[in-house]
Each structure stands twice: as C-alpha cells, then as structure tokens.
Amino acid sequence: MTGKFTVTFDPAQFYLNETAGVVLDSLNIALGSTPAFTYDPAENEFLLGGLVPGAGLIDLSKPNDDFSLDIQAFTGAPVIESFLYLQKSSRTAEFEASSSSVQVAIVVGPVGAAVPEPSTWAMLIAGFAGIGALGVGA
C-alpha cells in the first residue's frame, strides 16, 4: 500500500474519529470508508485509518479495504507503533511493526491565526469605550 495524506489539526486538542482536516492526496487501494484520525495529546498518540470501524481499528468481518497507522510520541521523536493493511479483494492482510518498512513525513506547524469571536470584539470595544468615558469625565 502506498499513499499520501495531509492532516491539519491542533495538537493541543483531543480528536476522536475526526474526518475534517484529512485530505487524501493519493492512495493505491480503494479505501472502504472515509479517512479519519484520532489524536490524544495526553498520550501523544496519533491514529490514521478508515472511519469505519474507527481510526486505528481494522474490522476483519467488514468487506472493506482498510488500513491503520499508529504513531507514538507524535510531537516529539515520532515512532511508528504499528501499521496494518487489509485488502479484502485479494484476502491480503499485512502487519508491519517496523518503521523501516513504513515511511511517514510529519510536519507540525501552526493551524492558522486565531480570530476573536464576535463576543470578544464586543467586550473589547465596550472596554475601550468605558476607559474613554472615564478619561473624558476626569
């Protein structure tokens, strides 16, 4: 199996079977469900795979092609814990626990600039107006 995914997310947040932010750039099998990821910042673990039965899980009873990639120490020195690939059409299942056979490029960067919510803007403007009113009255 070869493929390329781009996953955009905030590494400070917890995600469970999240599909938003996952872009499938290329994959040489027909994935049986939508790509998804799970990320736990407390465990520093990242899982990528099909949404059904869940990122990081493989259901051998389902007629879907699927894979699971488990990366430990994701934001430090990433270690591929496991890679499982299942292709139902040829009844092929492969398990790789070695990072020498699985290549992963991880780029951690900012998700994007934070934009204040409208209520934050309203409080900011009210605060400046209050300070201005105090200054005018003095």
pLDDT in tens, 54-89: 776 766 666 667 778 888 888 777 788 877 777 776
- Say what the pLDDT of residue 40 is: 92
- List the chain domain ranges: 3-137
Q: Residue 4 in contact with residue 23, Cβ under 8 Å?
A: no
Tell me the one-letter amino acid at 20: A
Structure tokens at 87: 């292709």
> Could you tell me the pTM of the whole model?
0.66
Q: Residue 40 in contact with residue 14, Cβ under 8 Å?
A: yes
